[in-house]
Amino acid sequence: MTSRRKILKTGLAAGAATALATPAVIAQSAPIKWRMQTYAG
């Protein structure tokens, strides 16, 4: 059985990884340019 300390430590590590990864994802998705494309036929 895992201890509360281990569960808390794992949760904090996952939260920190998510918090650090979020700005990188936002910065990476910034230069997306939308183009309209039509299909004739």
Q: Each residue of 1-41: pLDDT tens digit?
A: 578 888 888 877 777 767 666 666 666 666 667 778 787 76
Q: Give φ, ψ of 35 to 5 degrees.
A: -125, 140
17-32 as b/e: b if 16+ CB within 10 A:
eeeeeeeeeeeeeeee
Report angle CA 29, 33, 17 to the nearest 5 degrees.
5
pLDDT at 1: 59
First and final CA of the chain: distance in angstroms? 63
